[in-house]
Amino acid sequence: MPAETPAATARVRSDFDRIAALPDDPCDHNVRHHERLLSALPARCGAALEIGCGTGAFTRRLAERAERVVGIDLAPAMIEAAQARCAGLANVRLEVADATAWELGVGQWDAIASIATLHHLPARDTLARVRDALRPGGVLLVLDLVAADGPADRLRSAAALALNAAWRLARTGRPRMTPHARRLWDEHGRHDVYPSLAEARALAAAALPGARVRRHLFWRYSLVWRKPGRAGATLAAPAAGEAVKLETTAAFHELLDVLRDGDRVFLEGPRAVRDEIDALEGYRWLTEVLGVALDCYLHADPAHPEFVRLVSPTRKFGGDNADAVYHFAPLDPARTYRVQGRMGDAVYLSLCVYGGPNDGRWSNRIVGSLHDRELAIGADRSFEVWLAPERPPGAASWLPLDPDAVCLVTRDYLVDPVAGRQADWSIEALPPAPAPAPLTDAELARRLRCTTSFLRDLLNLCPLPPIGEPNAVAEPYRQQAAAYGWAAPDVVYAMGRYDLADDEALVLEGRAPACAFWNLCLWNPFLQTYDYRHHRVTINGGQIAPEPDGSWRVVISARDPGHPNWLTTAGHPRGVLWFRWFLADETPARPSARVVKV
């Protein structure tokens, strides 16, 4: 295993750019060992690196077990093939990189894998770098080719040739590869140098004391080594003048960068707000959504879930309203959860599972939901809901967890949100997970990056630019299962906007269909209600004073016009109108709108 030279590196890159175009080989001897290698992974695998990821076959398997996977390969065509194979896996990052120059870091990885790659690298140096890059308790997995050494090895190799031809004949109908594939591999193999088993064991013993090296049929050997120490242990003190390298440091600074530049979206460019009050509320919104992101992604643990309240009178985002209490819990789609609750005075209550990326970006679909009319509710208003991949025996109320399920959001709507009794909620994972260990560097970095991704998504959405004509409401629409964010599934929405002078009022009129609940909210461009603790800026169907014919009329203005259904603009000359109707028998007609003098 000689050290690489620039010419050798270029030759290997060129070889594998051509090999990448070959179809998958059903007799690939490396794939036979994937399961064996995966069984050696640590129980909690945060960050995994594959050196020489090829077309991504093992990378994809690693992504099933590790929270974050990075795959590097010298050949751009290999990375392109790996990207296609791993498409849709949000926890996988693939890079074209030379492993001899790529910065592995110190104590950053829970697992490092190398399949049929180590013989292309300076082995002694690579094993030393990998040793340092693993965390205490981290695992190195190597599968590579081995040279015959001595009469017994040559006899074993001859037997493998015969077995290989028979196996390939049984799998593909031919005893050999296609001529084109054979030619590409032969051209590449002319320059390959493989270690003997004795040489591989000597290298491992020198760099990785205690490593387990085994020979396998079909010219392979495996090396498995677990770094001494407890997983999650702290890094050793650096030598004088040497800085400790932490993945968390970079992730933390990414978050700071997003916060530092977050005001640009509402101060500059096409979505810049028009007045000082909206700009000031933009700064407040940044702090509030940071709090949401920290609760949902930094502190949340799907193995030990807890409900956290998403919004409050002083923490608003995503289209909140005064009448609802929302709770959030993270989910692992492979686990089983039991949710228990009691309804209180809710007129509408629901649980909704959302699916999509698991990297902090907002969900993109509704996996499943149940509302109170569908729940098995006891005489004491209590209920129990199971969340699991398969329905647990005896579960009266169940929400399936698809593989992309990431979170649960509950809704509790009250006609009188001040005096009404809120629902009680609890969630537990079953069977219970062991008490969590201290966060590793990779896990804390992952959580910080999820926090950052969530903020980026919200900055891409807010502030909302003016949509449609002013002082009008668009046609109501039913929410679809494919949804950006955490929209409700059994609701009809309608959106509008107002833009009023101090002496003007917007009169909205309409008729509500039979429904569980409906309301109207006034929002700023950041999809936040105004201060409903001190101003009447929302109204619901149970609070409204109806017209004699059963229709409704709402007046929106800065000045009090003396109307029972007046909503104040609370110092905001322009804003967003948002209607919602839950469990409506029919889609309501579009509310009418007209501007009058006050």
Residue 190 is part of a domain; what is its CATH number?
A: 3.40.50.150
Report the pLDDT value the prediction gives residue 460, as an integer from 0 to 100.
86
pLDDT in tens, the chain (598 residues): 444 567 777 888 888 888 888 888 777 878 877 887 887 887 678 899 999 999 999 999 999 888 899 999 989 999 999 999 999 888 899 999 998 888 888 888 999 999 988 888 888 889 989 998 998 888 999 999 888 777 666 666 666 666 666 656 666 677 777 888 788 767 877 778 888 888 889 888 888 888 888 888 777 899 999 888 654 434 444 454 555 568 898 889 889 888 988 998 899 888 899 999 999 999 999 999 999 999 999 999 999 999 999 999 999 999 999 999 999 999 999 999 999 999 999 999 999 999 998 889 889 899 999 999 999 999 999 999 999 999 999 999 999 999 999 999 999 999 999 999 999 999 999 999 999 999 999 999 999 999 999 998 899 889 998 888 999 999 999 988 777 789 888 999 999 999 999 999 999 999 999 999 999 999 999 999 999 999 999 999 999 999 999 999 999 999 999 999 999 999 999 999 999 999 999 999 999 999 999 9
Is there a domain that residue 60 lies in? yes
Domain that holds residue 394: 302-432
For residue 193, what are the contacts with CB-CB under 8 A and spacing of at least 6? 1, 2, 119, 147
Whether 219 and 348 share a structural domain: no
At 336, the amino acid letter reads T
For strands 382-388 and 336-342, give the pairing. antiparallel
Report the pLDDT value the prediction gives residue 152, as an integer from 0 to 100.
61
- Which tokens go with 308? 């956290």
Residue 489: give its domain's CATH number: 2.60.120.600
Is there a domain that residue 239 lies in? no
Is there a domain that residue 341 lies in? yes
DSSP assignment of 222-241: EEEEE-SS-TTPPPPPPPTT
Q: What are phi and psi of 405, to 5 degrees?
A: -65, 135
How far is CA 290 from each of CA 267, 297, 311, rounded to the nearest angstrom? 19, 10, 12
Whether 441 and 484 share a structural domain: no
Report the pLDDT value the prediction gives residue 120, as an integer from 0 to 100.
84
Whether 52 and 188 share a structural domain: yes
Report the pLDDT value the prediction gives residue 193, as an integer from 0 to 100.
84
Nearest to 344 by CA among 415, 424, 411: 424
Whether 61 and 126 share a structural domain: yes
Domain count, the chain: 4
Report the pLDDT value the prediction gives residue 420, as an integer from 0 to 100.
95
Residues 540-565 as b or e (16 or more Cβ within 10 Å = b)? bbeebeeeeeeebbbbbbbeeeeeeb
Pair 405, 333: CB distance under 8 Å: yes
Whether 531 and 586 share a structural domain: yes
CA 226 – CA 61 distance, rounded (Å): 20
Q: Is the pTM of this model over 0.75?
A: no
Report the pLDDT value the prediction gives residue 526, as an integer from 0 to 100.
97
Report the pLDDT value the prediction gives residue 378, as an integer from 0 to 100.
94
CA 269 – CA 278 distance, rounded (Å): 15
Report the pLDDT value the prediction gives residue 17, as an integer from 0 to 100.
84
Please identify, among 226, 255, 279, the residue that sits at the C-terminal boundary of a domain.
226
Is there a domain that residue 372 lies in? yes
Whether 180 and 71 share a structural domain: yes
User: Please, what is the Cα angle at 482 between 481 and 484, to 5 degrees?
Assistant: 120
Report the pLDDT value the prediction gives residue 160, as an integer from 0 to 100.
60
- Which tokens go with 83? 């990207």
Name the helix (H) or strand (E) containing 371.
strand 365-371
Report the pLDDT value the prediction gives residue 444, as an integer from 0 to 100.
95
Is there a domain that residue 238 lies in? no
Whether 287 and 187 share a structural domain: no
Whether 286 and 309 share a structural domain: no
**Whether the bond into 434 is cis, omega within 30 of 0:** no
Largest CA distance in the chain: 103
Report the pLDDT value the prediction gives residue 5, as an integer from 0 to 100.
62
296: DSSP letter: I
Is there a domain that residue 241 lies in? no
Whether 264 and 250 share a structural domain: yes
Alpha helices in 21-90 (DSSP H): 34-38, 57-65, 76-85
